[in-house]
Amino acid sequence: MCGICGCGETEVHQHNHSHQGETARLVKIEEDLLAKNNTYAAQNRAYFKQHSIFTLNLVSSPGSGKTTLLVETIKQLKDQFPIAVIEGDQQTEHDAERIRATGVSALQINTGRGCHLDAHGIGHAVKDMSLEDNSLLAIENVGNLVCPSSFDLGEAHKVVVLSVTEGDDKPLKYADMFYAADLMLINKVDLLPYVDFDIERCISYAKRINPKIRIIQLSATKGDNFIEWLDWLRKNINENRN
C-alpha cells in the first residue's frame, strides 16, 4: 500500500509498528515517494508556465459537488477561454462523460485502488491531450480529503470544495488538506436552511488552520454567488496569460 495513504501503490504498511527499523523504513519510503512526485510536479509546473496553462487541483470528499461545479463553470467560461479537464476516479468514466457533454475535452484517469492522482500520471495525461496555450486546465482529484493533500500535481492552486451537507468541522478533521489549499469553496449553500451546518464556525476553523485561505460561499446548482468564483477564475487566467 502507499506509504502516505495506504492506496495500494507499494506494500509498505504491511509491517509491525512496534519495530523501530520498520518504522524508519516506512518514513524513508514516504520521503522517497514524495520527493519523486515533487520532481514530476516541478516538470509539470514548468510546462504549464511555458504554455500559460492555468491549472487547478480540485479536491474534496466524495459528493461535494466538484463535477457539477466544473460543468456549470465550463458553461459560463468556455466561450471566453479554452478549457480542458482531467478527471480522477477509482472506477468509471461517468464524470468525464458529464464534462465532455459540455463540449470541452476531458481525460479520465482511473486509479483502481489508488486514492489520489499523482504528478507522474498528470504528466502522461497532459501528453495525451491537446492543451491550448493561455487556457484553463481543471484537475478533478479522487474524492478524498486525506491523500491528495500531500501530492503536488504542478497546479497553480489547490481548491478544496466543502459542501454544507458534510459537517462544519471538516477543516479541523482534515487539517492538512485545508492547510494545503489556497481557496475553499463552500458549496450547496442553498441547502443551509435544511442542514445542521454553522457556516461561520466552519470559516473560523478553516482560518485557524490556514489564515491565508480565501473562502467563497456558493451554490453550483442554484447559482448563488457563482459570480465571485467566476471572477476569481477570470482574474487568475488573465494574469497567467503571456
Angstrom distances, CA of residue 156 to CA of 13, 39, 57, 118, 220: 32, 16, 8, 15, 22
Mean pLDDT along residues 1-25: 53
- The mean pLDDT of the chain is 91
Is CATH 3.40.50.970 what the domain over 52-240 is classified as, yes or no? Answer: no
pLDDT at 51: 97
- pLDDT reading at 14 higher than 50: no
User: Could you tell me what percent of the chain has a pLDDT over 90?
Assistant: 80
Could you report the per-residue pLDDT of 46-65, keeping only the tens digit for each?
A: 999 999 999 999 999 999 99
Task: Mean pLDDT check: name the lowest of 34-43, 89-98, 192-201, 227-236.
Answer: 89-98
Q: Report the pLDDT value the prediction gives residue 115, as an integer from 0 to 100.
A: 84
Write the CB contacts of 94 (distance below 8 Å, at least 6 apart in sequence). none
pLDDT digits 0-9 by tens, 184-225: 999 999 999 999 999 999 999 999 999 999 999 999 999 999
Residue 27: pLDDT band by 50, 70, 90 thresholds? low
Q: Using one digit for the tens of pLDDT, what is the confidence trace for 84-98?
A: 999 998 888 999 999
Per-residue pLDDT, 128: 94
